[in-house]
Structure 1
Amino acid sequence: MARTVPTPAQPKGPGQVTVADIQEYTDYYTDFRNPGREAARESFCPHGYRLTDSCPNCPSC
């Protein structure tokens, strides 16, 4: 059985994803099987890390 991943009503594009988006829709924006991962990969946290990488200062990155 396929698992259902919560998806934002209006997914954000590359460079537009925020740390808050990652916190609310973690699987959608971080799982490589979902289209949101590419958008998150091209977005950065306030400390300069890609949202798909680990930032030592952000709780959700």
Structure 2
Amino acid sequence: MSTKKLEVIKVVTNKLDLDIKQLQSPRRHCCDVLPSSTGDMMEVAIRECKDDELIYMH
């Protein structure tokens, strides 16, 4: 997706059911960039990370 025409970034999530360990620092969540039918909007879905999912930190 080209970011030059991007006008809207929509971020969505379901209510996350976090346990006490997940509420402690540092917190990590994963996301998916959803397909868009228009070139001016990007939709990002925040979700809990899966068990074997890698997380990249800068």
TM range (shorter): under 0.3
- Between Structure 1 and Structure 2, the one with more helix by share is 1
- Between Structure 1 and Structure 2, the one with more strand by share is 2
The answer to which structure, 1 or 2, has the higher relative contact order (CA under 8 A, 6+ apart) is 2
The structure with the larger Rg is 2
TM-score w.r.t. length of structure 2: 0.22
TM-score w.r.t. length of structure 1: 0.22
